[in-house]
């Protein structure tokens, strides 16, 4: 594939995808991102100024802008990652999630369809629309239930996961109805460098280092399946190149951990890498009121992607988490850029009622 349109390429996972595509392929990458609070071009590193990287500040809610993108760049594949991605924000304000995740996806599908219908022969056969989605569409998993497979029925719990589920359905419908050659991936929780510090792992690292409470929702027993972001980006490239058209592939970390355990592991790493003179970081852990509709457990059965495409995660949770903690300790400048007034306002909104500052 010569020209790949990546949406959301200034976000956490999108920037990892763009960095890999620039470093490891010959493709030209058209990076379309609205640069919301979660998007930052500095997350691209040297890829940002690479001659094969073209940035377009485009809001996918704007249909005309999306159509222009396809006309100007004539991509032969789309990797669609742009989304509102934070569950807690979707509880505070669901509208943006429907607008970007549902209507934005529909705009892309319509523009991609018109573009693809204009192709003939090999170009038409080669075109792919790859929709990047989440394991949260499958909903709440009981402690003894088998992990989510591609056959698990959808049962989203939050406005975020409902909007992602709706977008998955649209993508599948565009394949069934119009024949658009689509791929869908549903992945578990990612962690790693450049993750916006509203999400569990970076939030805990920064709060600990700054001596603030570590707010664990509920009893901390909720389980997530953690995957290092570079492993996810590699899986996405494999699916795009070799995945079977019309298929869904689940991607996971083979790494189920309770939230409290994750936070304690972050504390242990910090106790070694940057010890506090007076206390162990675990002292800052505080149990706070739960997230409404909080899913107890996510876990992924990745046997399809393993069998068909030979993918497996490379990074272990322990080594990946240590790298991640070290990255946040070393990248104050990036943190200063992303922790804007908007970030501080969000922290106030989400934690004001929850946390008693120590
Ligand atoms: P993120 O919030 O870090 O980045 C999202 C990016 O999309 C940002 O750069 C933002 O500017 C951009 N964006 C938001 N609204 C936009 C709009 N209207 N138009 C154009 N750009 C817009 O998200 P992430 O964690 O990198 O997630 C990327 C994708 O992967 C999302 O679709 C998410 O649902 C999915 N996903 C995330 C995880 C995870 O653990 N983070 C796991 C599985 C799937
Ligand atoms: O499963 C994939 C999903 O993972 C992605 O689709 C989402 O985009 C991504 O944000 C992530 O969703 P989660 O809600 O699982 O991630 P988050 O980091 O917000 O929370 C992880 C767990 O930690 C969750 O059970 C809630 C809990 N938590 C989170 C925060 C922010 C806390 O206990 N305290 C907190 O302050």
Domain ranges of the chain: 3-194+225-256+293-316
Tell me the CA–centroid distance for residue 82 and ligand 1, in Å: 5
Q: What is the C-alpha to C-alpha distance for residues 46 and 91, in angstroms, rounded to an integer?
A: 36
Cα separation values, 136 from 10, 63, 296, 320, Å: 22, 27, 11, 22
Residue with tokens 């030209």: 28
Residue with tokens 């990248």: 331
Half-sphere exposure of 149 (CA within 13 A, CB side): 6
Q: What is the C-alpha to C-alpha distance for residues 133 and 194, in angstroms, rounded to an integer?
A: 19
Pick the CATH number of 3-194+225-256+293-316 from 3.20.20.330, 3.30.930.10, 2.40.280.10, 3.40.50.720: 3.40.50.720
Residue 325 in contact with ligand 1 by CB distance below 6 A:
no
Residue with tokens 């073209």: 54
Tokens of 206: 């920064």
**Residue to probe by mutation, ligand 2, list 159, 199, 264, 346, most atoms within 8 Å of CB:** 199
Decide the pairing of beta strands 223-228 and 256-258: antiparallel
**Residue to probe by mutation, ligand 1, list 37, 68, 82, 164, most atoms within 8 Å of CB:** 82
Tokens of 248: 């869904």
Nearest ligand, CA 288: 2
* DSSP-assigned beta bridge partners for residue 123: none
Provide the total of helices (H) and of strands (E) in the chain, helices listed first: 14, 12
Cα-Cα-Cα-Cα dihedral of 49, 203, 312, 46, to 10°?
10
Residue-wise pLDDT tens for the chain (358 aa)?
799 999 999 999 999 999 999 999 999 999 999 999 999 999 999 999 999 999 999 999 999 999 999 999 999 999 999 999 999 999 999 999 999 999 999 999 999 999 999 999 999 999 999 999 999 999 999 999 999 999 999 999 999 999 999 999 999 999 999 999 999 999 999 999 999 999 999 999 999 999 999 999 999 999 999 999 999 999 999 999 999 999 999 999 999 999 999 999 999 999 999 999 999 999 999 999 999 999 999 999 999 999 999 999 999 999 999 999 999 999 999 999 999 999 999 999 999 988 754 4
Annotated catalytic residue, options 84, 136, 256, 315: 136
Q: What is the C-alpha to C-alpha distance for residues 190 and 228, in angstroms, rounded to an integer?
A: 6
Residue 136 known to be catalytic = yes
Strand, helix or coil for residue 327: helix
Nearest ligand, CA 37: 1
Q: What pLDDT sits at residue 356? A: 59
Give the sign of the dihedral formed by CA 147, CA 155, CA 99, CA 241: positive
Tell me the CA–centroid distance for residue 81 and ligand 1, in Å: 5
Strand, helix or coil for residue 84: coil
Q: What is the C-alpha to C-alpha distance for residues 40 and 38, in angstroms, rounded to an integer?
A: 7
Q: What is the C-alpha to C-alpha distance for residues 226 and 73, in angstroms, rounded to an integer?
A: 35
Tell me the CA–centroid distance for residue 80 and ligand 1, in Å: 9
- DSSP annotation of 98 reads I
Tell me the CA–centroid distance for residue 84 and ligand 1, in Å: 6
The angle that helices 317-330 and 259-273 make with each other, rounded to 10 degrees, is 60
Cα separation values, 15 from 56, 116, 133, 168, Å: 14, 25, 16, 22
Residue 85 in contact with ligand 2 by CB distance below 6 A:
yes
Strand, helix or coil for residue 116: helix
Q: Do 232 and 207 touch, CB atoms closer than 8 A?
A: no
What is the model's pTM? 0.98
Q: What is the C-alpha to C-alpha distance for residues 340 and 44, in angstroms, rounded to an integer?
A: 19
Residue 113 in contact with ligand 1 by CB distance below 6 A:
no
């Amino acid at each position: 594939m010569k020209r790949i349109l990546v949406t959301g390429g200034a976000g956490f996972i999108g920037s990892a995808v763009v960095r890999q595509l620039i470093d490891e392929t010959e493709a030209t990458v058209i990076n379309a991102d609205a640069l919301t609070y979660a998007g930052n071009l500095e997350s691209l590193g040297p890829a940002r100024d690479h001659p094969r990287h073209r940035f377009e500040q485009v809001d996918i809610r704007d249909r005309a802008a999306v159509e222009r993108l396809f006309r100007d760049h004539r991509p032969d594949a789309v990797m669609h990652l742009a989304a509102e991605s934070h569950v807690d924000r979707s509880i505070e304000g669901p509208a943006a999630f429907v607008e970007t995740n549902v209507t934005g996806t529909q705009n892309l599908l319509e523009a991609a369809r018109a573009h693809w219908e204009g192709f003939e022969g090999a170009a038409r056969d080669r075109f792919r629309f790859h929709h990047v989605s989440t394991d949260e569409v499958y909903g709440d998993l009981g402690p003894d239930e088998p992990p989510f497979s591609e056959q698990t029925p959808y049962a989203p719990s939050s406005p975020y996961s409902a909007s992602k589920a709706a977008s998955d359905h649209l993508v599948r419908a565009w394949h069934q109805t119009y024949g658009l050659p689509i791929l869908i991936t549903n992945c578990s929780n990612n962690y790693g460098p450049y993750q916006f510090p509203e999400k569990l792992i970076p939030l805990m690292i920064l709060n600990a280092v700054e001596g603030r409470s570590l707010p664990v929702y509920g009893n901390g027993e909720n389980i997530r399946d953690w995957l290092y972001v570079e492993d996810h980006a590699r899986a996405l490239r494999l699916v795009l190149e070799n995945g079977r058209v019309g298929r869904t592939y689940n991607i996971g970390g083979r790494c189920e951990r309770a939230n409290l355990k994750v936070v304690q592991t972050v504390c242990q790493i910090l106790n070694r890498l940057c010890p506090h003179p007076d206390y162990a970081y675990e002292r800052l852990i505080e149990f706070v009121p739960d997230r409404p509709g909080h899913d107890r457990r996510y876990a992924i059965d990745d046997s399809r992607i393993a069998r068909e495409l030979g993918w497996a995660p490379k990074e272990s949770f322990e080594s990946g988490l240590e790298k991640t903690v070290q990255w946040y300790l070393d990248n104050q400048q990036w943190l200063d850029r992303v922790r804007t007034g908007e970030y501080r306002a969000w922290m106030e909104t989400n934690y004001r009622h929850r946390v008693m500052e120590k």
